[in-house]
Amino acid sequence: MLRDMVSRQGGTTVLVPQEQRTRKRQPLYRVLLHNDPVNTRDYVVATLQEVVPQLSEQDAVAVMLAAHNTGVGLVIVCDQEPAEFYSEQLKSKGLTSTIEPET
């Protein structure tokens, strides 16, 4: 996107195009929950809500059911650092989790 800059030279106004600086967004990452044949469904839902507080109970149930029915459920899409944190927290509580770049 260009933004015009006004420059006055010898009584003449000249419009000088200038590039607008934009920050490049960091790539987002998907936190994935894999099917868990060991822990109860209630435990998985409670753990999801504990680790990712912005998940409602309904969302946590949906993630758990997706993982149960298809083998993998999408927990959240976020920046890399929080994605790594969420995945590690899920693992520390006995759940299987990975992250991958969002495509």
Residue 96 domain boundaries: 24-101
- Per DSSP, the three-state class of 13 is strand
pLDDT tens-place values along the chain, 103 residues long: 444 555 555 666 666 666 777 777 789 999 999 998 899 999 999 999 999 999 999 999 999 999 999 999 999 999 999 999 999 999 999 999 999 999 8
Return the closest-CA partner of residue 97 out of 41, 28, 47: 47
pTM of the model: 0.76
Residue 99 and residue 89 in contact, taking contact as beta carbons nearer than 8 Å? no
Q: What is the CATH number of the domain that holds 37?
A: 3.30.1390.10
Residue 11 included in any domain: no
What is the count of structural domains for the chain?
Answer: 1
- Residue found under tokens 């680790």: 51
